[in-house]
Chains A and B, each alone.
Chain A
Amino acid sequence: MAEAPATPRSPLAGLAGALAGAQAGGVTLTERPARARLNLRLDPEDEEALAAAAAVLGAALPLAPNTAASAGDRTVLWLGPDEWLVTGPAAEADMLTGALAGRHHAITDVSAMYATLALSGANAREVLMKGCRLDLHPRAFAAGTCVQTALARAQVILHRSGNGQTYEITVRNSFSVYLATWLLDAMAEYRPA
């Protein structure tokens, strides 16, 4: 008997009201809609596998640390020398599996593992600086940079999106309510009175 596909439910559903109230002032916080996420691992020296993955994804896998690649609706984040996080429309796992058949690789669907928050606005960097030890100044953290680090002691993937206006914070579901609550508190001083 076929089961109905489970509807993704945001771990941040309980904070919907608080997030709706965080859309004004010098910094705004929004939860990104649920996306398909794949953890992809393959040998970075296997040129044919890299090319096959790039053909499916529409973007070459970024090989430089702390970088990301985007193609249309899809983003590929560098996680390690042989590991990437692919975020995009659903149903690419089968295509990738087909394209990488016979190659040493691993594809893991981690769609339900993370929530992604988007922090935008003129004061977004100041908010992050309250809980992140890295140098977030544009000279050191250019648009397109993607790092894994700790934000308010929670492990996050911090991606400054292509236009540089938005920081996308990908965090494990179990830490998402804590981190969103922390961010809302850190944003308070930049909100209109």
Chain B
Amino acid sequence: MLWIDCPWCGARPETEYRYGGEAHIARPDPAATDDAGWADYLFMRTNPKGVHAERWMHREGCRRWFNVLRSTVNNEVLAVYPMGAPRPDVPGGEAEGG
């Protein structure tokens, strides 16, 4: 069980949240993107072994979205930061693979 610090409500168990997939994926302009580029936007994810930036929403609490840096190796939550904020630097933040 993960415990995630909601930026508003504080530490809550994982079951109160909804997972929102990888963060910081910019939507390209559909008119200026070919099929390969659109497929890349829709389907391709980094899938790192290591630190992963992802979106979470506190479904059973304040219902706000935010970003989390989580290690996919040991599930450690390394940082919690607001939507729209740049990905923070954390020690050991360079992911392998990708």
Per the bound structure, the CA–CA distance linking A66 and B62 in Å amounts to 10
B76 at the interface (CB under 8 A from A): no
B60 contacts A155, C-beta separation under 8 Å = yes
Which of B15, B60, B62, B63 sits near A65, CB closer than 8 Å?
B62
A residues 85-102 near B (Cβ < 8 Å) are none
B62 contacts A150, C-beta separation under 8 Å = no
B8 at the interface (CB under 8 A from A): yes
A149 contacts B64, C-beta separation under 8 Å = no
Instruction: List chain B residues, Cβ under 8 A from A162.
Output: none
Instruction: List chain A residues, Cβ under 8 A from B8.
Output: 65, 80-81
Q: By DSSP majority rule, is chain B's interface helix, strand, loop, or mixed?
A: loop
- Shortest distance in angstroms between B53's beta carbon and chain A's nearest beta carbon? 22
A147 at the interface (CB under 8 A from B): yes
Count class of interface residues, chain B: 10 to 19
B62 contacts A148, C-beta separation under 8 Å = yes
Instruction: List chain B residues, Cβ under 8 A from A32.
Output: none
B60 contacts A148, C-beta separation under 8 Å = yes
B13 contacts A133, C-beta separation under 8 Å = yes
B20 at the interface (CB under 8 A from A): no
A148 contacts B64, C-beta separation under 8 Å = no
Which of A79, A81, A83, A149 sits near B12, CB closer than 8 Å?
A149
Instruction: List chain B residues, Cβ under 8 A from A148.
Output: 9, 60-62
Instruction: List chain B residues, Cβ under 8 A from A133.
Output: 12-13, 15
Instruction: List chain A residues, Cβ under 8 A from B16.
Output: 149-150
Instruction: List chain B residues, Cβ under 8 A from A150.
Output: 15-16, 60
Nearest A residue (CB) for B3: A133
Instruction: List chain B residues, Cβ under 8 A from A81.
Output: 8, 62, 64
Instruction: Please list 22 pairs of residues, one from A and one from B, whose beta carbons are closer than 8 Å in the complex, sorted by A's number.
Output: A65-B8, A65-B10, A65-B62, A66-B10, A79-B62, A80-B8, A80-B63, A81-B8, A81-B62, A81-B64, A83-B62, A147-B9, A147-B61, A148-B9, A148-B60, A148-B62, A149-B12, A149-B16, A149-B61, A150-B15, A150-B16, A155-B60
A residues adjacent to B (C-beta < 8 A): 65-66, 79-81, 83, 133-134, 147-150, 155
Instruction: List 12 extra interface pairs beyond A133-B12, A134-B12, A149-B60, CB under 8 A.
Output: A65-B8, A65-B9, A65-B62, A66-B10, A81-B8, A83-B62, A133-B15, A147-B9, A147-B61, A148-B61, A149-B61, A150-B60
Query: Considering the complex of A and B, which 3 residue pairs feature the smallest CB-CB distances, nearest first?
Result: A80-B62, A155-B60, A148-B61
B residues adjacent to A (C-beta < 8 A): 8-10, 12-13, 15-16, 60-64
